[in-house]
Chains A and B, each alone.
Chain A
Amino acid sequence: MPDVTHTLTINAPIVKVWSFVNNLRNWATLMPGYQDFTELDADNSVWKLKGDVGILQKLITLRAQVTGREEPSRVAFVLQGVDENLQGSGAFVASPAAGNTTDVKLSLSLKAGGLMGPMVNALLGNMVPSYMAALATGIKSRVEE
């Protein structure tokens, strides 16, 4: 089960960081392999991502639900695969830092269930850390623009 945490410092005040990450569409479009984002309501959305899953490339549809928002420092969410037996949860946690910067911690726990879970989790273990790193880099560069 991939359980990944990524920390970074963004050269922007926390208010600016919050205004960006508070909208999950901004996260989805920065994910490697982003294909589509559908907002169902303020807290629910459907993400379509295409990426390498082991040997093949696969379009994965995830339903995301925001489970908590604490402005300006925290967004928590859960993920559920639509056609895949995938469940996950994650959070964005920000805190103001010196020099008008913001320390950010991104965390994601993603788990494949069912019969093939152990095999799929082995694949995800290789894939998720690089996805998280790319997401973190993307958020940083977009907020700092």
Chain B
Amino acid sequence: MPEETQKLEKVLVKKVAASGQDLLNPNASVWASAPALRIDMAATPLANQPSPYIKATYDETKIGAIKEITVRALHNGKEIFFHFEWKSPSPNYEIGDVGTFPDGVAVLLPFKDPAQTQIKEMGSKDFPTNSWYWRPDFENKPKNQVAHGLSTSLYTETTPLVSRSEWQNGTWRVVMGRPLQVQEEAVNLSPGIATAVGFAAWEGANGERGGVKSFSKEWRDLVLEA
């Protein structure tokens, strides 16, 4: 995988002739053809925390240990896959103890007009969002979530999402994907469309979970090649 990443404005999802199985492999050579976007991540604003406890007792400067993630995306006409790479010096794979929190990464998509959907609030009643939530303890079945604003996200009963991941030499490499069109309550995608996308990441070793995380502060364009 090339170390250099291009500075792009948008997440361009190129169409490739590769199988879903191939794309699911974080080290597959096909990923070299995907433009990489480096995304600056920031702490979620403490002022927006729905928990008065978190708001009063946490320190925003200590939230958001993950400062940057690299995102790639590809589709094969039927399925779409996101490829993530980020540095995590001490990985947390599972909830081994009460004070252990697993690492995580998520994709956020608006159901409707991105301009009217607040990324900082995970949408609203009228402009909901769909998130794809990966954690190493979800056993390659990331959760599909729908949110109508902060503190409202709920898992759908079934998930169309699959993932593969590896942690090596201080870096997580995670691929998660699903069919472009799904049965679940989720944002359906198709070749040729443009929408918006946001990201979140959790450093478990820093006690990050829920709304205590780092996120991309603005929507990026998500463009699927026809």
A-B complex is real = no
Point out residues on B near A: beta carbons under 8 Å.
Answer: none
